[in-house]
Structure 1
Amino acid sequence: MYLPPHEVQFAMKLRAQAILVLLCLTIGRGLYAQANQDSALSLQGFSGILNTPNAHVQQEGTFDLLYSNQEDKFPKVGVPKWEDNYLFSVGLFNFAEVGGSLTNAAFVPPASAIRHLSMNWKLSTDPLTSRFRFSPALAVGMQDVGGQTHFIETKYVAGSVDPLGWLRVSAGYGLGPDRMKGAFGGMELRAYDWVTLLGDYDTRNTNAGVRLIAPALPYIPARLTVTFSTPVQHTQGLVISGGLNIPLDFKRSTRHGDASTMASGKPPVQRTLWGALTARKVQPPAPMPSSQSNDAEPVPVMVPLDSLVKAGTVMPVPKPISPSNNVEPGSLEALRDRLVKAGFVNVRVGLQGKTLVVEYENIRYNHSELDAIGVVAGIVSQTAVNDAEQLRLVIRRKGLALLQIETQLLPLRNWLEASEPTNAPTLIVSQKLTSEDGVNFVAGNDNPGRLKPSVMVYPSLTTLVGTEYGVFDYQLSIRPELQLPLWRGATGVARWDLPVAWSGNLDSGQVYASYHTPAQLDRLMFFQALPLAPGLVANLGGGKILTTTNGMLNELSWTLGGGMNRVKVLQSWGRDSGATRSVLLGSYRFFLAHHDLAFEGTAGRFWGQDTGSMVSMQRFFGDTSVSLYFKDTVTPNDSKRWLQAGIQLEFPLTPRRDMKARPIQIRGNEDWSYAQETGIASSSAQSANYIEPNLATVPEPTQALSLYFYDRERLNADYILSHTERIREAWRFFRNRL
């Protein structure tokens, strides 16, 4: 029987899809991965099915990357000859995600190629509706937000319901005009923990596919995903996409089932079709016979406690943790020596009545000061000091005392050594330091930090993404940075920038040659920090600020309300090849430590001499943070207004514990960052989504107060008291590694 060409193609696609699904189900039965039950990234950059969204968002605190070769139909240009899509998304909250994409496509002449950067977001009601069974989740979202040029724009609403633990049905309506204009819908069927069958209708095509999820990688808790799909009414054959899911706190997931149903004794909800089918085959246990033979195992019987007491049974009493348990007898000198051996500098130990006073400066535990607090508290709790009942920790930075923590020694010891998590002891955290009068500090080696150099080595990446001349142009440099503590609050800094690789467009004579910099000493400065009052610190700097700019760079920071409020003023003046730079900025930061969430606004004259404002929202996930920011500035020469928005990722690029300074310390960067932005213009200056580089640039000092003195704005009472479990976890992690 003769079939028209389009029917032959349709039949071949269905056969290929069926073979692929059967192959996956067959060869992957032994491959197990504890997959997240949350949404995965679709081929369009939002969480969903293939080309349509569901009403959920990706798991909070995760970062998704995805590449796809799917060829989309662009209403303004047509169907491309080929297309590459690079997508990312961040689970910012349990109800919100934000992401972006780079589309690179070539068309048959006379149509030209397009390179398009875009942003998208989605909000979901799932945290509110998930507690009610069969109640649908609802979501709203936008794709290709802002700007004057759009190729994939749409606005949509969606709803999802999970009638079974392994089946999700979604439907919605989109306003287009470029994608999802009309009603759409689809299904996700989780066959195994690592296999999900997918199908959707995106208002243009019906699509079918399968998503495979690999186990977590050996050394980092990241997962690889691969999706195979095919559009039924489209000439493109098999679409292949590959992705990576990374938890931003770099911790492995601990989800292993439905805790509520397990605790209640009800059968657990089956999360896969295979689990549902095999669960039905499990036979219930046979009833216990009324009488047992003499050799049968006795059945445990619950006996009231009072009956045991009456019968004279002696019940074992748990041994409480006392000052003598897990404590090594020692002296103040022994305690100081243990802290010095652990790598702390500027260590002082003494007694003030019944209060043990411990001062230290941390240069090793550079992911978070909470790690250092945990290690110091653990060492102190293990070393018994006669007559000491209270503990006062004084935290120093660059020799300056900034914060103190007071608590009772015995509750602290019990809490740190308890086998199960318990309530933390009462901690009193204050920026107002108690007088040292009457403290008898022991004499001897305090491991002074001055003149102990530290060399920080880290990469620097300059990128040009999705321009008219290339998909991804870059310069990769290695930056060795020498930091030399001189005296209390004083530091000398020298930084080199050594390019090691760059793209062809940055070669001499090419379009982006100006972005290629030679190997050079790009910073040579001296800084002096001065505490003026509790929470009020000035940082004065002078020297070579950047490359050819010489001058001064100063900041004044005032932290109020336990860390919730911070006001900062930054001032800089310098000469650059005869021209003068003058910077004056003011900022206010509002920090909700319990939610790891900060908002900041900055206004004034920036480094590029543009004037305006920038607002940002920062969310911490462990020691990684994600920031969304918006810039609104006017350039000085042409008075054009620029509106740009972006996303920035910051994380420690160094081990959780760095090497000791003996005699020199080599370490990584505790706050490495990368940002990408796009134009969201409404002004005439950005009629084609042009991005002006280096706008609203804040010239942060190398020894910035926010980073080197206040631990990325987290060294405050609110943050410490909201994250006490990190202190206990740090001690339990490091105590056998000291």
Structure 2
Amino acid sequence: MKIDLLRILLCFLSFTVFFLNTTEPKAEEFHNALSMQGFTGLLNIPTAEVTEEGKVYLLYSNQKERKWRGAIDHQDNYLVSFGLLPFLELTARFTEAPSDTSRYISDLSGNAKLKMPFIPEDSWLPQLALGVQDVTGGKKDQHDAKKLNTWYGVASKQVSILRLTAGYGTGPDRMEGFFGGIEAKAFDWLYGIGEYDAEEFHGGLRLVTPHLFGYPVNLQITAKTNFSHRPERPDFAIGMQFPIGTDRTKSAAALKPLPQTPAAHPPEISAVPTTEITTPSTDAAPSAHFGTAANLQARLTEYGFQNVRVGTRGSDLLVVEYENNIFNHNELDGLGVVLGTTTDIVPAGFSTLRLIVKKKGICILQISAPLEAFASFMKSASPGRLQSSLKVTPEIEEDGDVQYTSPGNPSWLTSSLMIQPGLRTYLGTEVSSFDYLLSLKPELFINTWKGGVIDARADIPLTWSRNFDTGRAFRNDRKDSQLDRLMLFQALKPVSTLMLNLGAGMVVHNLYGTLNEAMWTPGAGKHRFRLIQLYGENARGSRRMESYLAGYRYYFSQFDTCLEGTAGKFFPEDRGAVVELKRFFGDTAITVFYKNSEAADGRSHQAGGIQLEIPLTPRRDMKPRLVQVRGTENFSYEQETEIAGEGSLNFLGTPIGIRPETAFNLERVFYNKDRLSESYIRKHLLRLREAYVTFTEKK
């Protein structure tokens, strides 16, 4: 065995030295990748680096864990890591290890690593990080839900084409004591690795591809051997790295200046709506201004914008009111198209342009600046001047001397049919390694009057795993096809910073009552306070349910990140608190959460998890007509695991910390999924220009 070990080690060193002597790799940057344990690292130990901000790392490996490798036939490890912040990575791991014996391992766990952000990358000091592996689980009798637990500190330092790593772990399951390793960069795409994980020695190679076909997607392949245990049997891992979302403010459409040659004004549209003026024409408002207003209104309604009104006050002020229901990924797309169209059509004679964003006929936000500053920004892609003159406020100015066209393309009595999937999955439960339920949830919204909407949703199960069959463990979680919501909502804006949403009807299937929401967002949007109230009874009056919640949210504009805490009586009637950290990457959002609540049975429960929100609809939907058919702009999938304390295991437990919310809520419908604050708009001004260039073919 010693001879075999020596041969393997010599082969590994010779292979690495050969490449070091036949190439000159760039020493500036090491490519970080997932280890076989799920944290960013070498083979089985971490480095002080973290998953790249805004990226997802996926990895599969067949490595057997030391503590049970003698009792299992094989092991499958599925790992996913998120670069949530520049200094924070979060990893989920699912391990399945079947065996012909009675022992069967199925485990769902989470890792976290925090990199010290105060050490510059070019410093002579090493990078430092603290982390934890397998953070969930408790212990009961001889069974331990924490199978791979350890806390650790680690330091890494790059020296030319080498990166050295050393650290200490507390165990008890892995890395109990000192560990260390070295990476040698043979090519920009090939690394030789050697390490000691506090118990065993490992060596291996890692291959990372360049970007595939010009897209920021990389493949990773790792091969390793354990010098301390059966080195003739290597382990393998294969993975992928890709961005979580798309930052459209960095695209060519956002940054490339438009040609400076003056473009011809677009031709007037024949189907111009009636331009009756709510205030009689006077000498102070020449007919030329009304013609401009009518032409602009016609162009915006042709795009599909609703409730469009254009007003003028001489040559001093131009006001454009509109409601966007076609660019549903982000309200800034609609704002950009309206702004670009306005600067295209309207002559430079107007001094100030005021844009008013509406939702369900209610004026939500006002954006104003000199028209020339808007036009210059849309042409040059330089937001400096616009930033200094831009005003964003929820306070809508009411100027009695502004003369408006009559509303174009009203939204009343139009409807939107949203087709969306429903997906529920259970990983690593006590009855199976994986179960799923896929359903179809069509939801119809009918606009009745200003702020009024009828919401009707059905739930139609399509396919499921066998544990959702009759007589199986999760049958109660699969409902028959049914109408599970029928409500009337009325939204109100009593003051500029306060919104109300009052609802009544069938909240969920066979639960009738009220669901009300209040949201107060003072200032520039950094702070937000929210109240939610639900009361419901079943048709017979034998079941009553109540929920009262209060929440506070703080917005970190630098990272497009929200930290929110909610406490009270949740649905279904557990009492406790939920803390959420949510980060937007373009139109995709990642949320990590922690729940601590006391259920109706008096027992306390804790849970942690991660949620992914993505749009499942084209960036530009069909124009709103009598019925608009579209996908959902906010498909949500989450996976959570119970955090068991001492004396219990993290089996699938009682659901806790559920907010009673519908798709028609204030954050989603009226505030662009909490992305309509002044600070968000200022940071993403280039998104406006990108949408204008993309959707009006100004490339």
Q: Residue type of the partner of 2:305?
A: F
Distance 1:332 1:15 in 2: 80
Question: Which 5+ residue runs of structure 2 have no aligned equivalent?
Answer: 139-144, 252-256, 268-290
Q: Distance in 1 between matches of 2:661 and 2:435?
A: 25
How far residue 199 of structure 1 moved from its aligned partner, in angstroms, is 2.4
Deviations 1:204-252 (A, max 9, x none): 3222222233454569743332222222222372322222222122359
Give the match's secondary structure for 2:558.
helix
| TM-fit CA distance, 1:167 | 2.7
The corresponding residue for 2:158 is 162
TM-score, structure 2 as length reference: 0.87
2:197 alignment partner, one of 179, 199, 202: 202
Structure 2 equivalent of residue 172 of structure 1: 167
Letter aligned with residue 606 of structure 2: L
Partner of 2:607: 644
Distance 1:131 1:327, change over 3 A: farther
1:382 equivalent to 2:350? Answer no
Deviates more, 1:227-236 or 1:47-56: 227-236
Given that residues 221 and 251 in structure 1 are in contact (C-alpha distance below 8 angstroms), is that contact kept between their aligned partners in structure 2? no
- The correspondence for 2:371, drawn from 390, 409, 426, is 409
1:629 aligned residue:
593
CA distance in 1, matches of 2:12, 2:106: 31
- Residue of structure 2 equivalent to 1:278: none
Equivalent residue letter for 2:178: A
Are 2:51 and 2:89, in contact at CA under 8 Å, matched by a contact in 1?
yes
The match for 1:145 is 135
Mean Cα deviation higher: 246-255 or 371-380: 246-255
The residue type paired with residue 196 of structure 1 is Y
Instruction: Pick from 77, 81, 87 the counterpart of residue 85 of structure 1.
Output: 77
TM-score, length basis structure 1: 0.83
1:53 aligned partner = 46
Number of residue pairs matched? 656
Q: State whether structure 2 residue 454 is matched by structure 1 residue 492.
A: yes
Task: Give the letter for the 1:240 counterpart.
Answer: F
Change in Cα spacing, 1:529 to 1:23, as seen in structure 2 (3 Å) is farther
Cα drift, residue 43 of structure 1: 0.7
Shift, 1:9, TM fit: 5.6
Shift in Å at residue 16 of structure 1? 8.8
Distance in structure 2 (CA, Å) of the matches to 1:253 and 1:728 = 8
2:186–2:192 contact (8 Å) kept in structure 1 = yes
The aligned residue for residue 246 of structure 2 is 250
Q: In the alignment, which residue of structure 2 is the partner of 1:104?
A: 96
Name the residue aligned to 2:109: 118
State which of 382, 386, 390 in structure 2 corresponds to 1:424: 386
Choose which of 33, 36, 43 in structure 1 pairs with 2:36: 43
Q: Summarize the Cα distance change of 1:693–1:212 in structure 2 as closer, same or farther, 3 Å threshold.
A: farther
- C-alpha distance in structure 1 between counterparts of 2:198 and 2:644, whole Å: 29
Aligned to 1:590: 554
**Relative to structure 2, which stretch is displaced further, 422-431 or 670-679?**
422-431
Q: Partner residue of 2:417? A: 455
1:603-660: CA deviation from partner (whole Å, max 9, x where unpaired): 1111111111112121222222222211111111x20011222222222222222221
Q: CA deviation at 1:319?
A: 13
What is the aligned-residue identity percentage?
A: 38
Displacement of 1:46: 0.5
Per-residue CA deviation, residues 148-201 of structure 1 (Å, 9 max, x unaligned), is 13110111111111111x432212122211111222222223333333332222
For residues 578-624 of structure 1, give each alpha carbon's deviation from its aligned partner in whole angstroms, at most 9, with x where no partner exists.
Answer: 31111111111122223312111111111111111112121222222
Offset of 1:11 from its aligned partner?
A: 7.0
Matches within 5 A, 1:293-304: none
Q: How far 1:726 moved relative to its partner?
A: 2.0
- Do residues 64 (structure 1) and 60 (structure 2) align? no
1:189/1:16 CA distance change after superposition, 3 Å: closer
Q: Deviations over 1:346-372 (max 9, x none)?
A: 111110231100001011111211111
- Distance change in 2, residues 1:544/1:214 (3 Å): farther
1:616 and 1:60 mapped to 2: Cα distance? 19
* Shift in Å, 1:728: 2.4
Match of 1:697 among 658, 663, 669: 658
User: Which residue type is aligned with residue 435 of structure 1?
Assistant: E
Structure 1 residues 23 and 528, CA gap change in structure 2 (3 angstroms): farther
Which residue is equivalent to 2:481? 519
In structure 2, do the counterparts of structure 1 residues 54 and 459 end up closer, same or farther at CA, with 3 Å as the change threshold?
Answer: same
Structure 1 gaps, min length 5:
1-5, 256-317
CA shift for structure 1 position 719 = 1.6
Relative contact order (C-alpha < 8 Å, sep 6+): which is higher? 2
Work out whether residues 84 and 103 of structure 1, in 8 Å CA contact, stay in contact via their aligned partners in 2: yes
Which residue of 2 is the match for residue 240 of structure 1? 236
Using a 3 Å threshold, how does the CA distance of structure 1 residues 673 and 524 change in structure 2: closer, same or farther? Answer: same
Deviations 1:492-513, CA, capped at 9 Å, x for gaps: 1221222222111111122222
Alignment of 1:149-548 (within 5 A): 149-164=145-160, 166-216=161-211, 221-235=216-230, 237-250=233-246, 331-353=292-314, 354-385=316-347, 387-418=349-380, 422-425=384-387, 426-443=389-406, 446-548=408-510
Secondary structure of 1:674's aligned partner: strand
Q: CA RMSD in A?
A: 3.1
Equivalent AA in structure 2 for residue 226 of structure 1? I
Whether contact under 8 Å (2:622, 2:629) holds in the other structure is yes
- For residues 217 and 493 of structure 2, what CA distance do their matches in structure 1 show? 43
1:334 positional shift: 1.4
**Helix, strand or coil at the partner of 2:321:** strand
Instruction: For residue 332 of structure 1, report the CA deviation from its aligned partner.
Output: 1.4
Q: Distance in 2 between matches of 1:728 and 1:396?
A: 20
Rounded Cα–Cα distance in structure 1 between residues aligned with 2:356 and 2:186:
56
AA partner of residue 200 (structure 1): E
Aligned-pair CA distance for 1:473: 0.4
Alpha carbons of 1:194 and 1:38: their partners in 2 closer, same or farther (altered >3 Å)? closer
The alignment partner of 2:420 has SS state of: strand
- Aligned equivalents of 1:113 and 1:579: distance in 2? 41
Separation (CA, whole Å) in 1 of partners of 2:385 and 2:180: 47
Deviation, structure 1 residue 79: 5.0
Shift of 1:453: 1.8
How has the CA–CA distance of structure 1 residues 633 and 523 changed in structure 2, closer, same or farther, with 3 Å as cutoff? same
Give the whole-Å Cα distance in 2 for the aligned partners of 1:182 and 1:446.
Answer: 71
